[in-house]
């Protein structure tokens, strides 16, 4: 009965084969909330040669946890018991750039980045969010970086009219804030952004993550999702946006709430934007990840935050598969 109910809930998901897409990956953008925000920033730095924009909600500095869960808990979430060692963290990132494990600073400097941290957020400390802003300040010209920190939002993805009360943080971690964070983000990071004039008219398709990405997707769900506007399905040239859910926000936890209601699909049609929603999965065994978070502290391997990280490699394969 549970399986049947879940299948009915996925009624808007098309089980048909994916349409052949004319997808330009050279102008890809990413977004994410919380652990998905950490992941979006990691993915951006790893592939800034073709990922040209990032929108990050409620997250801290890239490599803040330094491959250690206790370090993550000490100064990368809701408390800062010890100062965040940004100099040491940035030195590691610089080393990875030199080794080719991250994109170079010249490529990174051509990006646009939009950051949001609600001042009612009790999950991510203000100093943690400010640390990510400080990181990006060293890489980007001021005109290419936006940091929104004066909105009364709790720990969630703010939306126009979906989700819970804006002042609370609860599943599915969408905030009914009369604020279209997806639109604000895309307007800043996406060249030629066009605001939506109608509801989304495209389709959501399932994506076989394990089949496409193999062992790299071992810590991810078997199935991800992709929203494809009608124009893109019919063969027009389109761009890719990759949006990473937060902890406890994958489809296995909140069903299709983030995929369908975070706000990105509504603006995808008018911008010819295919939106990929990769899915992490919860695990109570090794690697321990009971909340289904993306790896931002090292539960996959020590290279989790660079090009050799399994989840980053898996999502690259998903993007390439969409391109065909």
Q: Which domain holds residue 231?
A: 21-323
Q: What are the pLDDT tens digits along the chain (324 aa)?
A: 333 333 334 445 876 789 999 999 999 999 999 999 999 999 999 999 999 999 999 999 999 999 999 999 999 999 888 889 999 999 999 999 999 999 999 999 999 999 999 999 999 999 999 999 999 999 999 999 999 999 999 999 999 999 999 999 999 999 999 999 999 999 999 999 999 988 888 999 999 999 999 999 999 999 999 999 999 999 999 999 999 999 999 999 999 999 999 999 999 999 999 999 999 999 999 999 999 999 999 999 999 999 999 999 999 999 999 998
Asked if residue 198 belongs to a domain, the reply is yes
C-alpha distances in angstroms, 316 versus 44, 72, 320? 11, 25, 6
Length of the chain: 324
When divided into structural domains, the chain yields a total of 1
**236 in a structural domain:** yes
User: Distance between CA atoms of 206 and 176, rounded to whole angstroms?
Assistant: 27
Which pLDDT does position 4 carry in this prediction?
Answer: 31
How far is Cα 162 from Cα 146, in angstroms, rounded to an integer?
24
Is 305 within 8 Å of 314 (Cβ atoms)? no
Is residue 283 one of the residues assigned to a domain? yes
- Residue 182 inside a domain? The answer is yes
**Sign of CA pseudo-dihedral 122, 56, 280, 15:** positive
| Helix, strand or coil, per DSSP, at residue 237 | strand
Q: Strands, E, within the chain: which ranges? A: 22-33, 51-57, 112-116, 145-148, 157-159, 164-165, 174-176, 203-208, 223-228, 237-244, 273-277
- CB half-sphere exposure, 272, CA atoms < 13 A: 17
293, part of any domain: yes
Task: Tell me whether residue 12 is in a domain.
Answer: no
- Domain-located, residue 10: no
Q: Identify the pLDDT of residue 12.
A: 56
Give the C-alpha separation, 28 to 224, whole Å.
18
pLDDT at 15: 66
Task: Based on DSSP, count helices (H) and strands (E) in the chain, helices before strands.
Answer: 13, 11
Q: Does residue 296 contact residue 62 with C-beta atoms inside 8 Å?
A: no
Q: Residues with catalytic annotation?
A: 34, 121, 155
């Amino acid at each position: 009965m549970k399986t049947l109910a879940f299948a009915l809930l996925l009624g808007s998901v098309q089980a048909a084969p994916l349409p052949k897409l004319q997808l330009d990956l050279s102008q890809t953008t990413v977004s994410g909330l919380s652990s998905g925000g950490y992941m979006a920033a990691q993915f951006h730095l790893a592939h800034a040669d073709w990922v040209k924009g990032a929108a990050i909600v409620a997250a801290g500095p890239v490599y803040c946890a330094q491959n250690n869960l206790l370090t993550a808990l000490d100064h990368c979430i809701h408390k800062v018991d010890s100062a965040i060692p940004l100099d040491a963290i940035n030195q590691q990132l610089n080393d990875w750039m030199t080794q080719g494990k991250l994109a170079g600073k010249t490529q990174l400097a051509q990006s646009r980045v939009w950051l949001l941290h609600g001042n009612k957020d009790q999950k991510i400390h203000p100093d943690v969010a400010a640390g990510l802003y400080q990181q990006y300040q060293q890489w980007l010209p001021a005109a290419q970086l936006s940091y929104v920190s004066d909105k009364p939002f709790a720990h969630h993805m703010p939306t126009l009219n979906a989700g819970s009360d804006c002042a609370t943080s609860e599943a599915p971690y969408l905030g009914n804030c009369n604020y279209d964070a997806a639109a604000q983000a895309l307007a800043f990071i996406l060249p030629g952004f066009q605001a939506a004039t109608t509801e989304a008219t495209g389709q959501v398709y399932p994506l076989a993550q394990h089949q496409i990405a193999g062992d790299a997707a071992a810590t991810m769900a078997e199935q991800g999702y992709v929203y494809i506007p009608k124009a893109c399905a019919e063969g027009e040239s389109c761009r890719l946006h990759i949006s990473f859910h937060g902890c406890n926000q994958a489809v296995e936890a909140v069903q299709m709430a983030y995929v369908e209601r975070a706000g990105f699909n509504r603006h995808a049609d008018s911008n010819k934007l295919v939106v990929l929603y990769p899915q992490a999965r919860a695990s109570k065994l090794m690697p321990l990840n009971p909340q289904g978070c993306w790896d931002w502290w090292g539960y996959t391997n020590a290279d989790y935050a660079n090009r050799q990280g399994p989840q980053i490699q898996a999502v690259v394969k998903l993007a390439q598969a969409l391109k065909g």
